[in-house]
Chains A and B, each alone.
Chain A
Amino acid sequence: MPAPIRLRELIRTIRTARTQAEEREMIQKECAAIRSSFREEDNTYRCRNVAKLLYMHMLGYPAHFGQLECLKLIASQKFTDKRIGYLGAMLLLDERQDVHLLMTNCIKNDLNHSTQYVQGLALCTLGCMGSSEMCRDLAGEVEKLLKTSNSYLRKKAALCAVHVIRKVPELMEMFLPATKNLLNEKNHGVLHTSVVLLTEMCERSPDMLAHFRKNEKLVPQLVRILKNLIMSGYSPEHDVSGISDPFLQVRILRLLRILGRNDDDSSEAMNDILAQVATNTETSKNVGNAILYETVLTIMDIKSESGLRVLAINILGRFLLNNDKNIRYVALTSLLKTVQTDHNAVQRHRSTIVDCLKDLDVSIKRRAMELSFALVNGNNVRGMMKELLYFLDSCEPEFKADCASGIFLAAEKYAPSKRWHIDTIMRVLTTAGSYVRDDAVPNLIQLITNSVEMHAYTVQRLYKAILGDYSQQPLVQVASWCIGEYGDLLVSGQCEEEEPIQVTEDEVLDILESILISNMSASVTRGYALTAIMKLSTRFTCTVNRIKKVVSIYGSSIDVELQQRAVEYNALFKKYDHMRPALLERMPVMEKVTTNGPTEIVQTNGETEPAVLETKPPPSGLQPGSQANDLLDLLGGSDITPVIPTVPTSKPASAGGELLDLLGDLNLTGSPVPAPAPQISQPPFLLDGLPSQPLFNDIAAGIPSITAYNKNGLKIDFTFERSNTNPSVTVITIQASNSTELDMTDFVFQAAVPKTFQLQLLSPSSSVIPAFNSGTITQVIKVLNPQKQQLRMRIKLTYNHKGSAMQDLAEVNNFPPQSWQ
């Protein structure tokens, strides 16, 4: 039986393959030979065969049949075998494999081997990929080796301990004693890995952090080591471009950051060394800048004096001017982190940041864009917008949506004039019209409506914009709406801001009809167009018949939305023609409540109530629909009406419709809701006609509070308010507190009441109840109880606590009579 071919020979052979098929054939042949060799339990060539198998594995071929062979190699006495065996284990025997744990005993033996290189192999393997069970079994061995005087082993043991802690955090305590003298070592490897270990412990456990700060006085030790590194002479072994052990310097700086965070004393103790590193580090090469970068990050994160902070920002400013893209990249990343807290300092570098918008690198561009938006203010808005609009023009598609949104936001906050504002909106719609987010459309419509003196100008510009091209949906929607509203201004040529265009009623209807017919138009867009056409029936004089015709055609459209509208508009022409002018009247100015983010304006019979939308919904986005289902499950009994609570996530603009559907045919008092349908959500259902404030001014005083729920450390109190003028409504404010020692997160409160009641839940203050009663979540519930029946409530609580998901149901029956009688 000829000896199996050597590894290098196999590699050479495989590389001669000219096609994938040829390679596969060679591999299959060799695998077959290896398999039969394994079957024969050949000890001599196992190592060679496994090595070949590992090579083929790297090429992408399956190698699982070699797993047990790796185990045998590890168990072998021969060093050559162990070396390949452990390599194979790291490549083929991760914790997902059944046979992974079979390694444990071998590793345990090798951790105690007489040869340090064997011990090293075992430590390395355990530290790279040991499973939780393996870590548990072998933690004791690692702890022993952490105390050895052999620095070769000590440094590996330290990183092994780090891995153990990552896999089994409860074991952290056992390594504490061994850390006592770690920083007294001279060996850089041990120092470096010790700092890594200490970092891991401090980051994971506030107790450890406190311990190391106070009892071990870690900060002075680290400062001393860092100082020695900087001051010491040339050490060829650890030198990188004239800097002594930059790896260790950076890790120390990082540990200092953790120690100095939120701690005045520690921050003060490291102030000098940070200033020293910041001013003395050589910046000509990447390595020096790596240290400076870490220093800046540390300075910004601890409680540093203002002088030091300014120093840090200036370093970043210099980074921005560096030719090296990598340096510019990290500068932008860091500036983005500090722009909120050190706004003025960052403003100084604004023009350099804006220049970075033109960089070729996508990551740099993105950061520059985000920073630019953060820096826009009332003083620089014109200049900045110019740059950002230019950027919007030329940037990659992946940026356009965010950039458009950012421009709208900034324009809304800082527009120097209405004309400028409209122009900016126009520019965005025409440049990046198809990337504009859907929720921007109602916002823009509201803005335009409120800029009364600009109506003629706006509609003219919009009309011109879509004449050539009506494929960009958001643009077309806004344009259609405006033409519907202000078409009369368009045809009468009333524009003051610029040369009025000559356009006939028929031409206007032509374009709207083209939008209706076009395949490029989304269903929503068609709706806008049809409604616009309808509105023009009261604004145009010569083309009413044409409009009637169009509307009647769409009465049989297969698009249900369009059909419904057309049928209703048809009815307007026929039976309700006397109401038509009033219904299609110009939209009134909508009152706006300014907030910091994009707002969705809800029209309530002349009153407005803002519902703030977050641009980025948090990951735990609960949809109202699914909550209703949960409550239905919860309630079972037929006498209870489920209610959809509002949750602290963003809802799509039409969410109001769902609430309206649920609570049925509540008569909306006052004038009919305007027929033209911009995507503005319907009014809140319950308290129409009542002052839209969460609490009443004329409260019936003295209703006693109750504790509605108190279990497992979670306590929920209810306090009550009622209005003397409208006693059917009871406003309940719930306060949830947490007496345990761990926070409760993702807290959701749901409630259901008997059928004769109606319930509205407003958004809670947050979703986290901090531990030790250090804070509460508050939430307002409004209950409508027209029949003055006895108040009962079933509540459902869900939250995360101590790593598990908790859920509880309870009945609240102890409502005081004053809350409902």
Chain B
Amino acid sequence: GRRFLISEIHFILLFSRQGKLRLQKWYTTLPDKEKKKIVREIVQIILARHQKTSSFVDWKDLKLVYKRYASLYFCCAIEDQDNELLTLEVVHRYVELLDRYFGNVCELDIIFNFEKAYFILDEFIIGGEVQDTSKRSAVKAIEDSDMLQETVEEYMNKPAF
């Protein structure tokens, strides 16, 4: 069928240099088994990449855009005709947001606070598209949401339903 000229991130993976998955966000529906297979395959491909190669890998009918930040690989799968250079900026912006929230973010932050990493991502991207281009507002929304979370006492006392 017709290929649309649409920016659509298919999925985002974060993994360590040993291939351990730290975050997976899928914007398409796939069986769990299939997702696992894809993750294994892609981790293998990217970990095998030579340092002096480009950040882009042709994979099936998609393109993988990846970049390593310290011990973490960030990998985005985009449509074949999408703007790869801009995707690199998207990845970089996400790292900046994490850094702003956690303060000098490192892999351990993502490991122990994975749910926050997801919250931040969901504040930045919806349905594979960037929702806000401001450096501050995504983090501010998360911080405000954090404030909304009940304290332990509040939590215990508030009725669930």
On A, residues with C-beta under 8 Å from B are: 7-8, 11-12, 15, 43-44, 51, 54-55, 58-60, 75-81, 83-84, 87, 90, 94-96, 115, 117, 120, 123-124, 127-129, 152, 155-156, 159-160, 162-163, 166, 188-189, 192-193, 196, 199-200, 203-204, 236-238, 240, 245-248, 250-251, 254, 257-258, 286-287, 289-290, 293-294, 297, 325-330, 360-364, 366
Min CB–CB distance A151 → chain B (angstroms): 9
**Which of B5, B88, B150 has the most C-beta atoms of chain A within 10 angstroms of its own C-beta?**
B5
Q: Out of A77, A83, A90, A286, which one reaches B85, CB within 8 Å?
A: A286
- Which residues of A sit under 8 angstroms from B24, Cβ to Cβ? 58
Q: Is B29 touching A129 in the complex (CB atoms < 8 A)?
A: yes
Min CB–CB distance B17 → chain A (angstroms): 16
Measured in the bound complex, the distance between the Cα atoms of B88 and A670 in whole Å is: 68
The residue in chain A whose Cβ has the minimal distance to the Cβ of B134 is A237
Q: Out of A90, A123, A155, A362, which one reaches B132, CB within 8 Å?
A: A155
- Which residues of A sit under 8 angstroms from B4, Cβ to Cβ? 200, 203-204
B149 at the interface (CB under 8 A from A): yes
Q: Is A360 touching B144 in the complex (CB atoms < 8 A)?
A: no
B115 at the interface (CB under 8 A from A): yes
B60 at the interface (CB under 8 A from A): no
Residues 21-45 of B at the A interface (beta carbon under 8 Å): 21-24, 26-27, 29, 31, 36
Q: Is A117 touching B144 in the complex (CB atoms < 8 A)?
A: yes
Min CB–CB distance B151 → chain A (angstroms): 10
Measured in the bound complex, the distance between the Cα atoms of B5 and A258 in whole Å is: 8
Q: A117-B141, A193-B131, A257-B5 are in contact. List 13 more A-B contacts (CB 8 A).
A: A58-B24, A79-B149, A123-B126, A163-B126, A192-B132, A199-B6, A200-B6, A246-B89, A251-B7, A293-B83, A326-B85, A329-B56, A361-B52
B70 at the interface (CB under 8 A from A): no
- Which residues of A sit under 8 angstroms from B5, Cβ to Cβ? 199, 203, 254, 257-258
Q: Is A290 touching B89 in the complex (CB atoms < 8 A)?
A: yes
**Which of B112, B122, B137, B141 has the most C-beta atoms of chain A within 10 angstroms of its own C-beta?**
B122
Q: Is A192 touching B130 in the complex (CB atoms < 8 A)?
A: yes
Min CB–CB distance B70 → chain A (angstroms): 18
- Which residues of A sit under 8 angstroms from B122, Cβ to Cβ? 87, 90, 124, 128
Main secondary structure of the interface of A (DSSP, over half): helix
The residue in chain A whose Cβ has the minimal distance to the Cβ of B82 is A254
Closest 5 CB pairs of A and B: A290-B85, A189-B132, A361-B53, A325-B54, A159-B126
Q: Is A189 touching B133 in the complex (CB atoms < 8 A)?
A: yes
B69 at the interface (CB under 8 A from A): no
Q: Is A78 touching B54 in the complex (CB atoms < 8 A)?
A: no
- Report if A96-B31 is in contact (Cβ < 8 Å); known contacts: A115-B148, A193-B131: yes
Residues 49-94 of B at the A interface (beta carbon under 8 Å): 50, 52-58, 83-86, 88-90, 93
Instruction: List 16 A-B residue pairs with CB atoms under 8 Å apart, sorted by A's residue number.
Output: A43-B160, A78-B158, A83-B119, A159-B126, A159-B131, A160-B127, A204-B4, A237-B135, A237-B137, A248-B133, A290-B83, A325-B54, A326-B54, A330-B84, A361-B53, A361-B54
Min CB–CB distance B105 → chain A (angstroms): 16
Q: Is A124 touching B126 in the complex (CB atoms < 8 A)?
A: yes
Q: Is A196 touching B129 in the complex (CB atoms < 8 A)?
A: yes
Q: Is B36 touching A77 in the complex (CB atoms < 8 A)?
A: no
- Report if A11-B135 is in contact (Cβ < 8 Å); known contacts: A162-B129, A286-B89, A329-B54: no
Min CB–CB distance B40 → chain A (angstroms): 10
Measured in the bound complex, the distance between the Cα atoms of B136 and A294 in whole Å is: 26
B104 at the interface (CB under 8 A from A): no
Measured in the bound complex, the distance between the Cα atoms of B126 and A159 in whole Å is: 7
- Report if A250-B83 is in contact (Cβ < 8 Å); known contacts: A360-B53, A361-B54: yes
Min CB–CB distance B150 → chain A (angstroms): 5
Q: Out of A51, A94, A120, A240, which one reaches B29, CB within 8 Å?
A: A94
- Which residues of B sit under 8 angstroms from A360, Cβ to Cβ? 50, 52-53
Measured in the bound complex, the distance between the Cα atoms of B50 and A362 in whole Å is: 10
- Which residues of A sit under 8 angstroms from B86, Cβ to Cβ? 246-247, 250, 290, 293-294
Measured in the bound complex, the distance between the Cα atoms of B83 and A326 in whole Å is: 11
The residue in chain B whose Cβ has the minimal distance to the Cβ of A129 is B29
Q: Is A238 touching B134 in the complex (CB atoms < 8 A)?
A: yes
Residues 137-158 of B at the A interface (beta carbon under 8 Å): 137, 141, 144-145, 148-150, 155-156, 158
Q: Is B150 touching A326 in the complex (CB atoms < 8 A)?
A: no
Q: Out of A79, A117, A159, A199, which one reaches B150, CB within 8 Å?
A: A79
Q: Is A78 touching B85 in the complex (CB atoms < 8 A)?
A: no
The residue in chain A whose Cβ has the minimal distance to the Cβ of B140 is A152
Q: Is A159 touching B127 in the complex (CB atoms < 8 A)?
A: yes
- Which residues of B sit under 8 angstroms from A77, Cβ to Cβ? 158-161
- Which residues of B sit under 8 angstroms from A286, Cβ to Cβ? 85, 88-89
- Report if A325-B126 is in contact (Cβ < 8 Å); known contacts: A96-B31, A115-B148, A117-B148: no
Q: Is B85 touching A327 in the complex (CB atoms < 8 A)?
A: yes
What mask results when residues 1 to 26 of chain B are scored 1 for a CB within 8 Å of chain A, else 0? Answer: 00011110000000000000111101
Q: Is B85 touching A362 in the complex (CB atoms < 8 A)?
A: no
Min CB–CB distance A243 → chain B (angstroms): 10
- Which residues of B sit under 8 angstroms from A196, Cβ to Cβ? 7, 129
Measured in the bound complex, the distance between the Cα atoms of B71 and A605 in whole Å is: 71
Q: Is A193 touching B54 in the complex (CB atoms < 8 A)?
A: no
Min CB–CB distance B124 → chain A (angstroms): 10
The residue in chain B whose Cβ has the minimal distance to the Cβ of A188 is B133
Min CB–CB distance A40 → chain B (angstroms): 14
Min CB–CB distance A41 → chain B (angstroms): 10
What mask results when residues 85 to 123 of chain B are scored 1 for a CB within 8 Å of chain A, else 0? Answer: 110111001000000000000000001101100110011
Measured in the bound complex, the distance between the Cα atoms of B139 and A260 in whole Å is: 37
Measured in the bound complex, the distance between the Cα atoms of B113 and A12 in whole Å is: 12
- Report if A240-B89 is in contact (Cβ < 8 Å); known contacts: A54-B115, A76-B160, A325-B52: yes
The residue in chain A whose Cβ has the minimal distance to the Cβ of B63 is A363
Q: Is B53 touching A84 in the complex (CB atoms < 8 A)?
A: no
Measured in the bound complex, the distance between the Cα atoms of B149 and A192 in whole Å is: 29
